[in-house]
Amino acid sequence: MGITLHGIGVVGGIAIGRAHLMSHTEVDIAHYEVPANQVQTEIARFDNAVRKTRKELEMLWGSIPENAPAELGSFLSLHIMILNDATLSREPRHLIETQHCNAEWALKQQLDVLLAQFDEIEESYLRERRADVVQVVDRIFKALAGQAATPHLPAAQSENTIVVAHELSPADMVLFKDGAVTAFVTDVGGATSHTAILARSLDIPSVLALHNAHQIIEEGELIIVDGIQGVVVIDPDEKILAEYKRRQQAFQQEKRRLKALKGAVPTTRDGVAIELQANIELPLDMPQVKANGATGVGLFRSEFLFLGRETLPSEQEQFFAYKEVLEQMGNLPVTIRTLDIGADKMPKWSDHSTFANPALGLTGIRLCLAEPNLFRCQLRALLRASHYGNLHILIPMISSIHELQQARMHIELAKQSLTDEGIPFNRNVKLGVMIETPAAAIMVNNFLKQVDFISVGTNDLIQFTLAVDRSDDMVAHLYDPTHPAVLYLLSQTFRAADRIGVPVSVCGEMAGDARLTRLLLGLGLRKFSMHPAHLLNVKQKVLKTDLVEIQPIINKMLKCEDPEKMRDLLEQLNAL
């Protein structure tokens, strides 16, 4: 039949196997009165269920294999902690005693109270822990009903097992040990869910947020999980199957080859050292940064802490997120970009209306300067975090020196407020600007005199230089990173930075496109920052490049006006 479902691809790779539906039976929650002389027996029944649940969780914890990701242990400990908390293990006893209700009803009432408290929480990580409380309570309900809480996997079979579930808890994922499960898909789950975090550390193909996969897919059905594209194909025909088998093999071969490069120092064949850093959106991207051997975070798009939520993140919440990334990187540089919202990234809590040309509106630094409280809150969080690592602050969407000066003034005010409060921070934290508007690229010399570093945002620089909307399919063919105007601006920017001795990097998509690595090297770039998934690919290209050898073709490219010829030259460059 070949039905295709789309969700969030969490871990890359392709798996082909038989579906195993993992279901959690729903328990009906009865409500009845308990006679006064039975109250103590009912309390004992509740205590027994809690004890049984604790034993189960501890057993699961004890059976975590040595090679399992560390998160699995911590998430299970969290469930044990939730269970042991008096609000769950003691409060329902009190309700049974005072209301003479059955244990299930007492537990349900207490769960409702706890969930209402969770709904009040603003901080997204804590709010997500609501699911953990529900999962633990679900186990107690099952223990009260005398049902098994842990679903079972089918006995070892010749074909790969792909788990299909509405939702998975960390306890369910203990069963995925020792390769028992090849891939999994779920109906629910967001980017910060425990399921997503565990998926990343287990490193098996997975697609979340498929909405109704659990209802559509049948037990034993052949399915393909494509974690790269976030796609699940149910009951594929021979042709599709053959194509995915081919892609699977190619992916695995390439992954093996590239993995061997993780520890290699990125140096060109003629001995020039190149820096390869990673772009991240949230602290939970960090395992990927490390797994791919990045030597710094070149762009932390902080706006992702602000998106997809009803309210603003507090200074404290931001501080924890920044500190976590800085601590994980030790002495290596971490470049955190201040809020870059607006245009396609307008959060729910913002009341700024969208105009006909949102990309030319109140975005990036413009919005921050228009909302000084918002900006100051972020700057305080950043400066506080600077005490814990090697922080670089990066200002987005700058188009005039005046904006840089105003941003600097806000940083000074934030520093002063921290000093007044006796809060430690790094007084020499580095400050840089994004070069992503033509104005900033043309006037780059002025900026270079006033900053510690610059980072070129090619995504926007191409969009604004060529007047081509980066997200409009209709003009996608005109969005050309090798357009002469783009190459001219890039080469001028790299040369100016080199002359003045200010570090320059590229953090737009061009930096992660291995077909453009030699071109950027030839134009003078020595520092790249990209999605961690591209890092080893780019490193491979760096290792195979001789800067002297590529120069004649680069010179021709800089003089080339014809797009067709430019494509030829790029091919020649990559064929060297």
- Please, which residue, 104 or 460, has the CB nearer to Mg ion? 460
In angstroms, rounded to a whole number, what is the distance separating the alpha carbons of residues 205 and 182? 7
Asked if 49 contacts 42 with a C-beta cutoff of 8 angstroms, the reply is no
Q: For ligand PEP, what does the binding mask look like between residues 15 and 54, x meaning CB under 6 A?
A: ----------------------------------------
Shortest Å, Cβ 459 to Mg ion:
5
In angstroms, rounded to a whole number, what is the distance separating the alpha carbons of residues 571 and 576? 9
Structural tokens at position 50: 């809690």
Continuous H helices in 371-475: 372-385, 401-420, 438-442, 444-448, 458-466
**Residue 458 binds which of ligand PEP, Mg ion, none (CB < 5-8 A, kind-dependent):** ligand PEP
* Cβ burial, residue 219 (10 Å; 0-12/13-18/19+): exposed
- Please, which residue, 175 or 367, has the CB nearer to ligand PEP? 367
523: Cα separation from own chain's centroid? 31
Asked if 573 contacts 554 with a C-beta cutoff of 8 angstroms, the reply is yes
Residue 460 binds Mg ion (CB under 5 A): yes
Show Cβ contacts of residue 290 under 8 Å, excluding neighbours closer than 6 positions: 328
**Residue 214 binds which of ligand PEP, Mg ion, none (CB < 5-8 A, kind-dependent):** none
Residue 333 binds Mg ion (CB under 5 A): no
Show Cβ contacts of residue 563 under 8 Å, excluding neighbours closer than 6 positions: 480, 482, 483
Residue 432 binds Mg ion (CB under 5 A): no
Residues 136-175 contacting ligand PEP, CB under 6 A: none
Show Cβ contacts of residue 336 under 8 Å, excluding neighbours closer than 6 positions: 297, 300, 302, 322, 325, 382, 385, 391, 392, 393, 394
Residue 458 binds ligand PEP (CB under 6 A): yes
Asked if 236 contacts 248 with a C-beta cutoff of 8 angstroms, the reply is no
# residues contacting Mg ion (CB under 5 A): 3
Residues 301-330 contacting ligand PEP, CB under 6 A: 301
Nearest residue to the partner Mg ion, using Cβ: 460
**Residue 301 binds which of ligand PEP, Mg ion, none (CB < 5-8 A, kind-dependent):** ligand PEP
Judged by CB under 6 A, the stretch of 136-144, 366-374, 439-447, 452-460 that binds ligand PEP is 452-460
Residues 267-306 contacting ligand PEP, CB under 6 A: 299, 301
* Neighbouring-strand partners of residue 186: 165
# residues contacting ligand PEP (CB under 6 A): 10
Residue 457 binds ligand PEP (CB under 6 A): yes
Asked if 462 contacts 486 with a C-beta cutoff of 8 angstroms, the reply is yes
In angstroms, rounded to a whole number, what is the distance separating the alpha carbons of residues 72 and 498? 47
Judged by CB under 6 A, the stretch of 147-155, 220-228, 242-250, 458-466 that binds ligand PEP is 458-466
Choosing from 101, 368, 377, 507, the catalytic residue is 507
Residues 541-570 contacting Mg ion, CB under 5 A: none
**Residue 508 binds which of Mg ion, ligand PEP, none (CB < 5-8 A, kind-dependent):** ligand PEP
- Please, which residue, 110 or 437, has the CB nearer to ligand PEP? 437
* Cβ burial, residue 562 (10 Å; 0-12/13-18/19+): exposed
- Please, which residue, 470 or 539, has the CB nearer to ligand PEP? 470
Residue 298 binds Mg ion (CB under 5 A): no
Choosing from 194, 214, 531, 534, the catalytic residue is 194
**Residue 71 binds which of Mg ion, ligand PEP, none (CB < 5-8 A, kind-dependent):** none
- Please, which residue, 345 or 410, has the CB nearer to ligand PEP? 345
Continuous H helices in 524-562: 535-543, 547-559
Question: By C-alpha distance, which of 48, 146, 60, 128 is closest to 92?
Answer: 48
Question: What angle, 0 to 180 degrees and rounded to 10, lies between the N-to-C axes of helices 39-62 and 130-145?
Answer: 120
In angstroms, rounded to a whole number, what is the distance separating the alpha carbons of residues 262 and 513? 18
Residue 432 binds ligand PEP (CB under 6 A): no
Residues 504-563 contacting ligand PEP, CB under 6 A: 507-508
Show Cβ contacts of residue 347 under 8 Å, excluding neighbours closer than 6 positions: 303, 306, 307, 308, 309, 341
**Strands ordered across the beta sheet of 222-226:** 3-6, 231-234, 222-226, 14-22, 161-165, 183-186, 206-208, 8-11
Judged by CB under 5 A, the stretch of 8-16, 20-28, 429-437, 561-569 that binds Mg ion is 429-437
Residue 436 binds ligand PEP (CB under 6 A): yes
Tokens 């309570």, located at residue: 137
* Residues comprising the chain, all counted: 576
Shortest Å, Cβ 533 to Mg ion:
19
- Please, which residue, 266 or 457, has the CB nearer to ligand PEP? 457
Assess whether 211 carries a catalytic annotation.
no
59: Cα separation from own chain's centroid? 31
Assess whether 507 carries a catalytic annotation.
yes
- Please, which residue, 223 or 461, has the CB nearer to ligand PEP? 461
- Please, which residue, 295 or 459, has the CB nearer to ligand PEP? 459
- Please, which residue, 167 or 436, has the CB nearer to Mg ion? 436
Residue 399 binds ligand PEP (CB under 6 A): no
Shortest Å, Cβ 275 to ligand PEP:
16
Residue 457 binds Mg ion (CB under 5 A): yes
What DSSP string runs through 110-179? HHHHHHHHHHH---HHHHHTHHHHHHHHHHHHHHHHT--SS--PPPP-SSPEEEEES---HHHHGGGGGG
**Positions marked catalytic:** 194, 507
Task: Give contact residues for Mg ion (rule: CB under 5 A).
Answer: 436, 457, 460
Task: Give contact residues for ligand PEP (rule: CB under 6 A).
Answer: 299, 301, 340, 436, 457-460, 507-508
